[in-house]
Structure 1
Amino acid sequence: MVTVSFPGLGIGETNLNPVAFTLFGKFEVRWYGLFITLGMALAFFYVIWRSKKNEGIKSDDVIDVGLVTIVLSILGARLYYVLTSLENYHSFYDVIAIWNGGLGIYGGVIGGALGIFIVCRVKKIKMMGFYDAVVPAVMFAQMLGRWGNFFNGEAYGYQIVDGSSRYFFFLKEFSIPVPSWLRMGLSPNEFTGSTLAYVHPTFLYESVWNLCGFVLLNLLYRKKKFNGQILLSYLAWYGFGRMFIEGLRTDSLYIFKGIFGTDGIRISQLVGLLCFLAGTALLIFIPIFQKKHPGFLAYQKPVLTEGGPIESPETIETPETIETVEQTEQSEQAEQAEQPEQSETANTEDENDEEPLKSKPLTAEPPTAEPQPTEEIAPKETETAPEKETAESAENDPPKPAPKPRRKPPTQRGTVTLPPKKKKVAKKPTAAQKGTDHADH
C-alpha cells in the first residue's frame, strides 16, 4: 500500500493498492498487469489497421508476427532487467518469477524487434514497413504501462528541494523551478522514512511524453517519404525524452559504478542517448543518400482495391512497377473493346465476298451466246417463311446439332489476325431447311 498526493492539482493523500482484484480468493490481478495487457491489446489492433492501410500487409501476417513478438518481448524485457542487476538474483526461480516485478522496456523493444525480424524473413513480409507500423503502437503501450508503475508506487524521481531539479549523471543539479502541480507526494519513501515527501512524478513525465510522440508519429505517417522513417523518428523522440527523464529517477540500473566519482552510468540514459543520436543521424543521411539511389528504402503507399490494399506490397515498390500495371490494364480494356467491332467487320466482309459470287455466271462462255441451262443460283432470302410453316417444319424435321461457335481471331496487344478468306457458293435451300433455319434463330 502506497500513499500519494498531488497537492498542485488539489488531490490529497490517497492510498493505492497495487492489487486490482482477486480471482477465486487466491490469484491476485495487479494494476500493472492490467495496464500492460490493455496496452498490448490496443497496440495489436492498431498495428492491424495501420499495416493494412499504409503498408499493404495482410491481417493474417500481422497475427503471425504478433504472436511471436509478444513472447520475445516479455522474455527480452525480463532478460534485460536480470542481466543489469545480477546481484539481486540467486536462483533460477528468482529469474523466472516475473510476477514479482522486474522488466526493462529496452529489453522488450529489442526482443520484439528480433521477433519481427525473424517472422518477416521467414514469411517474406516487408520488414521496414512493418517496423514503421509497429512503433507508434509501442509508444502508446508504453504510455499506458507507466500508469502501472504509478499504482505500484515505483519509477518515481528525486525529492524536490527548493524547486530545483536533477538531470544527467554527470551534472549534479540544475536551478530549474518545478511547477507545484508536477510535484507528487509519496509516502513511505527512501528520503524521510514515513514522512510525506514531494518527488518528481517521472512516470507521468514519460507517459505524457509518449502520448505526444504517439500523436506526432501518426501525423508523420501522412508525409512518409521512405521505409523506416517512422522507426527512426521513434528512436530519436523516445531516446531524447528518456535520456532526460531517466536522470530524475531513483531506481535506475547502473554500469561502470564509481566512474567520475558517481554511482555510475545509468544504462537507460546511455541507451536513450545512443538511440537519439542514431535515429537523428539516419533521418538526415537517408534522404541525402536517396538522391543518388532513388530505389533505396523507397516507399509507395499501397494501391487500394475493393477488398483492401494489394496483398503483395513487393509488387508496388517503385513507381515504374505501378505504371507497368496500369499500362497492362489499359491494354486489356482496349482489347476487350475492339473485339466486338472486329467481329462485326469480319462478318460484313464475308457477306460482301458472297455477293460477287452470286452475280458471276458459272460458265465462261462469251456474253453473246445464250447461257447453257445450269442450276440457278437462288438470291439471298430476305423474307422469312410464315410462322405456321416454320412451326410445322420444326416439328417434323429431326433436330439439328447446335452450330459450332465461331472461333475468335487471336489478339495480341490491340492487333487482330483474321483467317484467310474462303470463297463460298450459296446453295438453293429446300423448304424444310428454310423453316428449320428460321426456327434455329
Structure 2
Amino acid sequence: MNNIAFPKLGISLNISPVAFSIGSKPIYWYALIILSGFLLGLFFVYKTCEKRGVKKDNVWDIALFGLIFGIIGARIYYVLFALDEFDSIADMFKVWNGGLAIYGGIIGAIISTVIYCMVKKLNIAKVFDVCAPGLFIGQAIGRFGNFVNVEVYGGETNSLFGMSINGATPVHPLFLYESIWNVIGLVILLLIRDKKKNDGQVFCFYIFWYSFGRLFLEGMRNPNYILYVIPNVLGISQLVAILFMIAAVSAFVVLQVKAKKDNEI
C-alpha cells in the first residue's frame, strides 16, 4: 500500500498495486488499466473505421496481433537495454515481474500490422491513419498504470501538480504529463485528420507528437527508470524519439510532395 498525494490540490490516496485476487493469484491494477486503455482505443477505432475505408473484421485482427506482438516487442526492447537486471535467461521471460518499454510495444505493433496488411493486401498507410487515434487513447489511459505502480516520475518540484509518494518531497508526475500530452495530441489529430493530403500523414503526426513529448519528459524522469544508451547523458528512449521525429517529418513531407504531384497530373 502506497500513499500518493498531491498536497497543493488537497488530494491524498492510499493505493495498493493489487486490485483483487483470484484464489492466491493477485490481479494488478496495472494490467487492468493497460487492458482498459487497449479496449477503449480499440472501441473508438472499431466505431470509426468503416467510414474511413477499413473493415471492422480487419480492425479486430490488427488489434489482436498488435497486442501480442506489442507485448513481445515491449519486453524485448526492455531486456536488451537492461541485461544486468536479469540473473538468468528464464527471468527475461517473466513479464509479470515488470519491465515493458512502450517504444518496443509500438515497434512490435507496427511490424505486425505491416505484415498483416501485406498479407491481406490492405492500404498500409490508410490502416495506420485509422488506428492512430486508438493509440493516443490507449497510451493516455495506460499511463495511469504507472501512477498505481508509483513509477514514472521526475525530480522534486513545488508546482501545483507536485506528487508526494509516502510523505516524501513532491516530484513531477510524469505519467500525468504524458497522459495529458496524449489527450492534446488526440484532440489535434481529430481536428486535422480530414485535412490530410495523403494517406499516412495522420500516423506521421501521431509519431511526431508522441516522440516530441517523450523526448522532453524522458529527460525529466527519475534516473532509476531510464534505460541509457550513453550513461547519464542520453536515454535510449530519447534517442529513439529523435529518430522517430526525423522519420515522421521526412515521411510527412514525402507524402505531401506526392499528393501535390498527383494533383498536377
Aligned-residue offset at 1:70: 1.3
CA distance in 2, matches of 1:293, 1:120: 24
Provide the residue aligned with 1:51 in structure 2. Answer: 49
**TM-score scaled by length of structure 1:** 0.57
**209-218 vs 284-293, greater mean Cα deviation:** 284-293
Aligned-residue offset at 1:253: 0.7
Q: 1:32-431, aligned counterparts within 5 Å?
A: 32-54=30-52, 56-160=53-157, 180-187=159-166, 196-250=168-222, 251-257=225-231, 263-294=232-263
CA distance in 2, matches of 1:53, 1:158: 45
**TM-score scaled by length of structure 2:** 0.93
Aligned-residue offset at 1:282: 3.1
Aligned-residue offset at 1:285: 4.0
Q: Is the 8 A contact 2:137 2:182 kept in 1?
A: yes
Letter in 1 for 2:196: K
Aligned-residue offset at 1:277: 2.7
Same amino acid, percent of matched pairs: 41
Letter in 1 for 2:165: L
Aligned-residue offset at 1:264: 3.2
- SS of match in other structure, 1:205: helix
CA RMSD of aligned residues (A): 1.7
Letter in 2 for 1:292: K
Higher helix share: 2
Aligned-residue offset at 1:151: 0.5
CA distance in 1, matches of 2:255, 2:118: 23
CA distance in 1, matches of 2:133, 2:107: 15
Would the alpha carbon gap of residues 111 and 295 (structure 1) be closer, same or farther in structure 2, given more than 3 Å must change?
Answer: farther
Letter in 2 for 1:152: N
Q: Which has the higher contact order (CA 8 A, sep 6+)?
A: 2
Residue-by-residue CA offset, 1:225-266 (whole Å, 9 max, x unaligned): 210011100111111111111111111110122xxxxx1311
- SS of match in other structure, 1:15: strand
Provide the residue aligned with 1:373 in structure 2. Answer: none
CA distance in 1, matches of 2:61, 2:181: 30
Residue 19 of structure 1 pairs with residue 11 of structure 2: no
Q: Which runs of 4+ in 1 moved over 3 A?
A: 293-296
Q: Is the 8 A contact 2:198 2:259 kept in 1?
A: no
Count of residues in Structure 1 that have an aligned counterpart in Structure 2: 263
Stretches of structure 1 lacking an aligned partner (at least 5 in a row): 164-179, 188-194, 258-262, 297-441
Stretches of structure 2 lacking an aligned partner (at least 5 in a row): none
Letter in 1 for 2:195: K
Provide the residue aligned with 1:388 in structure 2. Answer: none
Letter in 1 for 2:40: L
Bigger radius of gyration among the two: 1
Residue-by-residue CA offset, 1:365-409 (whole Å, 9 max, x unaligned): xxxxxxxxxxxxxxxxxxxxxxxxxxxxxxxxxxxxxxxxxxxxx
